[in-house]
A and B are shown apart, each in its own frame.
Chain A
Amino acid sequence: MMSEQSPNPYVGLPETAFWKTAVAARNPLEISALWRPKFTVARKHKVITAGSCFAQHFSRALVARGYGWLDAEPAPKLLSEDQAWDFNYGIFSFRTGNIYTARMLRQWLSYAFEGEEPPVEHWEQNGRFYDPLRPGIEPEGFADLAELQASRAALLAAIRGAILEADVLVFTMGLTECWRHRTSELEYAICPGTLAGRFDPDQHEFVNQSFVGIRRDMLAALKILRQANPKLKVLLTVSPVPLTATASEEHVLTATSHSKSVLRAVAGELAAEFKHVDYFPSYEIITHPAYRGMFYAPNQRSVVPQGVNHVMESFFACQTAAFPWLARKSKRGGKTAGEPAGQPSNARAVKCDEEFLDAFG
């Protein structure tokens, strides 16, 4: 017979603290309580999303559940859904395109809030003009430089408006690898010469950002955000999508592992350091061996819809577990959601009849 366990710090910890009970003994889909949120994300809150492509899933899930996702650069109503998508409307809260790195986030915020001049550099191709900060934002680029700059000015206004108005920013950290201008240190959204522009080894250099550099850029970004909107909460995630390619001279698998580990570490450190910053473990839910790769498509890169759903279900489950009143409010909200707003839909038709009868009756 074993003697009774002597007192130690592990005695009395919840079962989530032990691998055997929290992970090994469970069906992966029943692993729960992965996250203890620091703050609520309620329907009344205005949430903005930015970052790597995985952040798009957040906005869609929020919209689907009637949450207040803020679209600061909405598509014109006359565009079809597909056209809006092609022109990067409704994907993030503003039309930056993917913000893969901490430096890119810092750059955008500096342009939007600190009066830093955006680059004059632009890429021309086949008579069209491309923004090196978001070369894919318009499928065929812009008609001329003035249009590129006007569009960018509108974007910066949208960034300002969104951040000033929002309650929560969800930022998904994507990459450590990037390309910069050797002298100006301008960071490009994507390597020059890929989507547009021309690669020039004398001007363009590869940078694999370090933990220290990323942390410094994130701290600077958080500072700008805090100064702009002291009530803004920041929820960090790390994209579980592996690198498409690496320029690090490492194998793309180990390069991915390195990149994601660094990002994960920075996110964790920032969440530990700041009360208004939290980390949601969507990265772990998709990538961890406990889930046996079930959320990846056969290419082992794309995340399948079931994975996204599971991530978002976990997000909302953890929110309601930490803040039970959210579930009650959500039910109450549901009752009113279907109620019509404004004038009845047949009001205009009735008026048309009146007008017509008057003229021809």
Chain B
Amino acid sequence: MPLAKSTSGKTLKKGKTSTKKSTLRFCVFGDSHIACVKHAQDEDLLDLKNVALEFWGAPGPQFRDLHLEEGRLAARSEAARDSLEKINPARVEGLDPEDFDGFLFIGCRLRASEFLLPLLGSLPGSPGYLSSSVRALMLNRWLEGCRWYRAAREFAKLRPVFFSPAGFLNDGIVSEDEVARTINTEATEAERKAIWDGVALAMQQDNIHLIRQPEETVTRGGLTRAEFATTLGDQGDDSVHKNGAYGGLILNEALRELRRTQK
């Protein structure tokens, strides 16, 4: 999919953080899902040659306190600022699209499960079949209903933006009852691809590049393979978050695409 050429050289303002000319300044933005990329960095799984990587975001409730204000993301609460202080103390005041050469929005309350699973469960021949008109409305609501997707769209007017929706829930954590009720475990790679293609097309219209969930991380139609689930904690009951291996796949794909388009 074509991606707009970076305009970083033309729009870089004086007084901004200086970097080597050949170094890409790249920012990972999101909610707690940015953690998987940080894990990947800590585990040396990222291809960061000539890349200056930064993170910006906040977990859980604090994430909701991050708002787009006059074209930049800013924290509206002390709690959110505290989170920013931890992950990027130099940029507590806000995230400006012009501060970086590209962005990865990850998670950000845009959950693959909420859109893909109902569609995978409603293919022709299945009881809950949904028409293309209904699917189109769902896609629009899924994207437009996400405040941070709308923010990504604003950022994409100035810089390349990649968006990686939160991956499918983790296999082995979700109860089998829920799996039976909500997941078409027979869904194929081709069926997922067809839906992802539609998402990519919709995002492309907003100049956003979709980073889809890598197929090697998917199992049983619409779950994430257990080996890509976070290993945090002893409870083993986190059905949402992913590990460094997953984060590495996502960020490396975004960087690969960014480099490709900047050649």
Task: Let me know if A356 and B59 touch, CB within 8 A.
Answer: yes
A359 at interface by CB-CB < 8 Å:
yes
Contact: A355 with B230, CB < 8 Å?
yes
CB-CB < 8 A to A76: which residues of B?
A: 118, 122, 130, 134, 138
Give Cα A140 to B132, complex, Å.
Answer: 11
Beta-carbon contact of B241 and A355 below 8 Å: yes
Scan residues 205-263 of chain B and give those whose CB is less than 8 A from a CB of chain A: 230, 232-233, 238, 240-241
Q: Is B142 an interface residue (CB 8 A)?
A: yes
Chain B residues with Cβ below 8 Å from A349 are 60-61
Q: Are B35 and A359 in contact (CB under 8 A)?
A: yes
CA distance A98 to B200 in the complex (A): 38
B55 at the interface (CB under 8 A from A): yes
How many Å lie between the Cα of A99 and that of B40 in the bound state? 58
Closest-CB distance, B246 to chain A (whole angstroms): 13
Shortest CB distance B225–A (Å): 18
A154 at the interface (CB under 8 A from B): yes
Interface readout for A122-162 with B: 1 if CB under 8 Å, 0 if not? 00000000000000001110110011001101100110010
- In this assembly, does A361 line the interface, its C-beta being within 8 Å of a C-beta of chain B? yes
Classify chain B's interface size. 35 or more
Interface residues of B in 24-77 (CB under 8 A from A): 31-32, 34-35, 38-39, 42, 55, 58-61, 63
Q: Residue on B with the closest CB to A83?
A: B137
Give the one of B38, B60, B87, B238 with max A CB within 10 A. Answer: B60
A212 smallest CB distance to B (angstroms): 37
Helix, strand, loop or mixed for chain A's interface? helix
Interface size on A, residues (CB 8 A): 36
Q: Is B198 an interface residue (CB 8 A)?
A: no
A76 to B117, CA, bound (A): 11
With an 8 A cutoff between CB atoms, is A64 at the interface? Answer: no
Take A161-B127, A351-B238 as given contacts and tell me if A87 and B60 are in contact as well, using a CB distance cutoff of 8 Å. Answer: no
A350 contacts B by Cβ under 8 Å: yes
Residues of B close to A150: CB separation below 8 A: 124-125, 129
> What CA separation (Å) do A352 and B108 show in the bound complex?
12
If A73-B128, A153-B129, A354-B233 touch, does A359 touch B38 (CB 8 Å cutoff)?
yes
- Minimum CB–CB distance from B163 to chain A (whole Å) comes to 17
Q: How far is the CA of A76 from the CA of B138 in the complex (A)?
A: 8
- Contact call B141/A80, Cβ cutoff below 8 A: yes
User: With contacts A78-B115, A359-B35, A360-B38 known, is A354 near B129, CB below 8 A?
Assistant: no
Q: Which of B103-128 contact A (CB under 8 A)?
A: 114-115, 118, 122, 124-128
In the complex, the answer to whether A154 meets B127 with C-beta atoms within 8 Å is yes
Contact A146 B124 (CB under 8 A): yes
How far, in angstroms, from A139 to B137 measured CA to CA in the complex?
12
Q: A138-B133, A154-B126 are in contact. Are A78 and B138 (CB under 8 A)?
A: yes
Rank and list the top 10 A-B pairs by shortest CB-CB distance, nearest first.
A356-B59, A352-B60, A359-B35, A154-B129, A352-B32, A349-B60, A78-B138, A150-B124, A359-B38, A157-B127
Chain A interface residues (CB < 8 Å from chain B): 73, 76-80, 83, 87, 138-140, 142-143, 146-147, 150-151, 153-154, 157-158, 161, 348-361
Q: List 14 A-B contacts (CB under 8 A).
A: A78-B114, A83-B137, A138-B134, A150-B125, A151-B129, A153-B125, A154-B122, A349-B61, A352-B31, A352-B60, A353-B32, A358-B232, A359-B39, A359-B42
